Structure 1
Amino acid sequence: MDNLLQLAADPTVWAALATLIVMEVVLGIDNLIFISILTNKLPPEHQTKARRIGIGLALVLRLGLLGTVAFIVHLTEPVFTVLGKGISWRDMILIGGGLFLLWKATKEIHESVDPTPKDAGSAASLSFAAAIGQILLLDLVFSIDSIITAVGMTEHVPVMMIAVVVAVIVMLVAAEPLSAFIAKNPTVVMLALGFLIMIGMTLIAEGFGAHVPKGYIYTAMAFSAGVEGLNMLVRRRRQRKADGV
């Protein structure tokens, strides 16, 4: 308790907490986009439940991983070498997660362009289980990357835990509006899938040791989202003129 009071009285700790919260929220955007796209493919009665389970799993994973910070830090130590580059467990997780994102986003794009009808009655429960499994896999990838980044910013586990809880609460609040927005705007789905491909490539690049500044990624995403926003505005105005409003 005394240690916590000392932390609360330290201005540098508050600065680290604010920075970590912002970082966790920004990193959570990737996870939230994936969850929104995936759960929107489920039957309407299962979507909210799947989103809450997926985000809840992200919280449980991150808090659980924070309890094993010493082990997580060792994930960055090389396990073997390929062409002179040391590959760690973290690298392998990032590469695997990136490949999964590339496969999943490409598959979703293909289904959007050339949809094939399926028997919804026989696939509903399987789809829900598959969605939770895929969300859990990506939660693990993003959680490990997030925790390792947090460890590099502060050594205080309570600060990390508070930042994680706040970030997950923000994700929980934003999940429903984001999912509804994506569902109402089909072109946004394609844009979001493009984001996932870019994120997947970034994870693979970082897994092989090529650091890609996150600022470049999120600036590109913000620019694309802004262009799509202008396109949506133009479409709405044209629709209003066509309707005589």
Structure 2
Amino acid sequence: MQTRQPLVFILEDDHDLATILVRTFREHGFDVESFGLIRNFERRLSQVRPALCFIDMRLPDGPGLDLATRRLHSENIPVIIISGVWTEVTDRVLGLEMGADDYLVKPFSPREAVARARAVLRRAEGTAERGAEIARFSGWTVDFRSHRLTAPDGEEIELSGSEVRLLRALVSLPQRVLSRETLMDGDGMSATITFDRSIDVRISRLRNKLREDPRNPRIIKTIYGAGYMFAPKVEWLAATET
């Protein structure tokens, strides 16, 4: 029996683009459903949980970004946002800051959408497989299963799914320089995109939650021209130890 890949939801009001994406994903073995309106998307979401969603930022019945952050983020469903070439760069950065896992700018290749979907799903699956682990560093504790970051003073801070996956990648290889490409797990898929700040935006968001001085970060260090390095030593704990 052939094993089907995870279900992908596409919320896109451009009928031609949605049709092409559906056909391409099916050709690559995915289950996929498309929607042109938020209300139809939400109705189906109440019945079935997808593995990944593509969400257009501008839709006839409301902003797609609101949906991505209001519901999908709370349910830990990975999201790739779709924006038009006319969309302000600050809007795309905002989408990443609010928890989206990746973005695509129109026009884009349908095969690139498939590649990005696979990369996001690999990161999500890797986090789920190791999600019971708990890490401590510099007085901080992070529980990857509960998406909970605990500060040295005991304050609990919620992490988004994309933040969990990025932090997990960093703490798994401490005191090593990791390139943006490595952190994106992207097979070079972003090399042709002019706007490529997704990792930088997530790093900035993590630093903010870790109370880092942006001018002199001590936990996640920038290695100019190379990438980032997670500086502290990391102690791994079983869930029963907390």
TM-score, normalized by the shorter chain, greater than 0.5: no
Report the structure, 1 or 2, having the larger strand content. Answer: 2
Please give the TM-score of this superposition, normalised by the length of structure 1: 0.30
When Rg is computed on C-alpha atoms for both structures, the one with the higher figure is 1
Please give the TM-score of this superposition, normalised by the length of structure 2: 0.30
Report the structure, 1 or 2, having the larger helix content. Answer: 1
